Amino acid sequence: MSPRAVSRASARAESTILQLLDGNIPPSPEIVKDIAPVLQISETDLLIIAGLATRQAVSTANPYRNSTEIGELVSIASSLTDEKMRRLIDTARSLKSENHR
Q: Report which DSSP code applies to 79.
A: T
Q: Quick one: pLDDT at residue 84?
A: 94
Separation of alpha carbons 64 and 78, rounded Å: 20
Burial (CB count within 10 angstroms: exposed 0-12, middle 13-18, buried 19+), residue 8: middle
> Could you tell me the residue ranges of all domains in the chain?
3-99
Confidence of residue 12 (pLDDT cuts 50, 70, 90): very high
Q: Is this structure's pTM higher than 0.85?
A: no
Of the candidates 69, 64, 60, 80, which has an alpha carbon nearest to the alpha carbon of residue 5?
Answer: 80
Q: Quick one: pLDDT at residue 99?
A: 78
Q: Quick one: pLDDT at residue 63?
A: 58
Q: Quick one: pLDDT at residue 23?
A: 94
Separation of alpha carbons 22 and 52, rounded Å: 18
Q: Convert the pLDDT of each residue in 21-74 to its tens digit.
A: 999 999 999 999 999 999 988 889 999 999 998 764 444 555 567 767 777 787
Query: Could you give the dihedral angle defined by the CA atoms of residues 78, 79, 84 and 87, in that order, rounded to the nearest 10 degrees?
Result: -30
Number of H helices, E strands in the chain: 6, 0
One-letter amino acid of 33: K
Confidence of residue 90 (pLDDT cuts 50, 70, 90): very high
